[in-house]
Amino acid sequence: MQVAFVDLNRQYQSIQSEIKEAMNQVFESSTFILGKPVEDFEKSFAEFCEASYACGVANGTDAIHLLLKAYGISNNDEVIIPAHTFIATALGVAYSGAKPVLVDVDARSFLIDADKIEAAITKNTRAIIGVHLYGQTCDMNKLREIADRHKLLLFEDAAQAHGAYYQNKKAGSLADGATFSFYPGKNLGAYGDGGAIVTSNKDIYDKIKALRNYGSPIKYEHRILGYNSRLDTLQAAFLSVKLRHLDKFTLRRQQVAQTYLERLKELKSIQLPGIREIKDHVFHLFVVQLENRDRLQKFLAENDIETAIHYPKPIHQHEAFKYYDFFKESFPIAENICKRILSLPLFPEITEDEIDYICSKLIEFDHH
Ligand SMILES: *Cc1c(COP(=O)(O)O)cnc(C)c1O
């Protein structure tokens, strides 16, 4: 048996007729930039997130950049992010002109360690970005308390957490603004790049709408230096189709995770992820930890099971950020988990036989 880390074709096959219909409609109307498909998707995505507004943008990295920009964050400002996240969180901050300031993460949940945030706050700090990594929301009550105490803005990087919950509230509705990515492999993925900013602040929403469209609230009127960063119309049409199926896909992800958790709980060499509540987690990734990570990855590859590492290097060790002097800093937990983590295959269309095969190979590895 061969198991892919993720097989996007299976999902496409299951919704192919709806996707083709949506594509036809866009071609028939021949509106390819903004227009009704983008507006319709934005409306349903805002509703899905239980927030007032969603603004489609070109990708999740731009979403972070434009959200910070709309709140006036720029040069000499600092924005707190976790040391363990996808590079784009830091890039979005850097594009705004602000400096990303890193905070170590929790070794079990992989999420920003709220107890370490206050030590990183300076007179230049303007915001905290909580990253709902792997599909699990951060401890937003704690983050809100710290943000309020220091008069900081609070944002969510929800690129991996479409539909996740925190205490009965949806990701996207938990802060002053949230950013999403619709990169094909994300829980809600387009057939190309896409992203969105979700907020209930009308003023910020209006600013972002202008920022994404050459800084132009009215055609040929430019009051600010804007960008060309719109959500593509075809992608918006596809996303509306996929959003209708998302709850079902999420439920299946949770079932798969539940099976992994049950079948692997006795393993001695493999540590399972720290999960607050399965029903709140959307399992973008299922990440285990172990001492002999590379050996396990090789063993699984020899058995035709594809795995991945999210991510092999913490933010501060990337060459791209050397001008921040990050190399001198140390985030021991982030550094350590990078060497220990392994992401197992988990996608809505994975079969019971495939999960069974993966679990049996993990058990075999553990017994050696
Ligand atoms: C994917 C991702 C992004 C960036 O999204 P793109 O659409 O690829 O630009 C940002 N943050 C996190 C945590 C991500 O996983």
Taking the complete model, does pTM exceed 0.95, yes or no? yes
Cα(228)–Cα(12) distance, integer angstroms: 29
Atom of ligand 1 nearest to the CA of 64: 10
Residue 329's pLDDT band (boundaries 50, 70, 90)? confident
Q: What is the mean pLDDT of the chain?
A: 97
DSSP code for 345: P
CB 229 within 8 A of CB 66: yes
CB contact set of 67 (below 8 Å; sequence gap of 6+): 92, 155, 177, 179, 197, 199, 204, 208
Atom of ligand 1 nearest to the CA of 132: 13
CA 134 to ligand 1 centroid distance, Å: 11
- Confirm or reject: Cβ of 85 under 6 Å from ligand 1: yes
Q: Looking at residue 55, what is its pLDDT?
A: 98
Protein residue closest via CA to atom 6 of ligand 1:
60
Residue 323's pLDDT band (boundaries 50, 70, 90)? confident
21 DSSP β-pair partners:
none
Average pLDDT over residues 266-271: 97
Task: Answer whether residue 135 shows pLDDT above 80.
Answer: yes
Residue 361's pLDDT band (boundaries 50, 70, 90)? very high
- How many other CB atoms sit within 10 Å of the CB of residue 58? 20
Burial class of residue 30 in the structure, from the number of CB atoms within 10 Å of its CB (0-12 exposed, 13-18 middle, 19+ buried): exposed
For the beta sheet containing 125-131, the strands, ordered from the edge strand earlier in sequence to the opposite edge, are 53-57, 195-199, 177-181, 153-157, 125-131, 78-82, 99-103
- Confirm or reject: Cβ of 60 under 6 Å from ligand 1: yes
- Confirm or reject: Cβ of 159 under 6 Å from ligand 1: yes
Average pLDDT over residues 13-27: 98
Residue 368's pLDDT band (boundaries 50, 70, 90)? confident
Q: Looking at residue 217, what is its pLDDT?
A: 80
Q: Looking at residue 328, what is its pLDDT?
A: 79
- Calculate the CA 220 to chain-centre distance: 34
Cα(58)–Cα(199) distance, integer angstroms: 17
CB 63 within 8 A of CB 72: no
pLDDT one-digit tens code per residue, 160-181: 999 999 999 999 999 999 999 9
